[in-house]
């Protein structure tokens, strides 16, 4: 049996995943600050940051062409 390579996720689904990953990354960082062994935690944090980066790079950023664009 081969893995499914076609996923159908909504924008809301991706937002939930991103938020969960950011929260997990925050918890890992807090544990490092509190003095836990950083070896494994740093490795997990790097994996999470890499995944968040890949998600970010796949987004199509919308910018209106006819109206004045105001950031923020």
Helices 38-57, 11-33: inter-axial angle, 10-degree rounding: 160
Q: Is the pLDDT of residue 59 over 90?
A: no
CA 72 to chain centre: 20
pLDDT digits (tens, 9 = 90+) for 3-41: 888 989 998 999 999 999 999 999 999 998 998 888 888
- Assign residue 38 a region (left: φ > 0; alpha: ψ between -120 and 50; beta: otherwise): alpha
Kindly report the pTM of this predicted structure: 0.73
Size (the chain), residues:
72
* Per-residue pLDDT, 13: 95
Q: How far apart are CA 48 and CA 25, in angstroms?
A: 7
């Amino acid at each position: 049996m081969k893995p499914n390579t076609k996923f159908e996720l909504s924008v809301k689904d991706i937002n939930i995943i991103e938020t969960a990953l950011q929260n997990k990354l925050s918890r890992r960082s807090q544990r490092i600050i509190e003095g836990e062994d950083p070896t494994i935690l740093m490795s997990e944090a790097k994996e999470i940051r890499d995944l968040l980066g890949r998600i970010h790079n796949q987004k199509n950023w919308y910018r209106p062409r006819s109206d004045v664009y105001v950031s923020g």
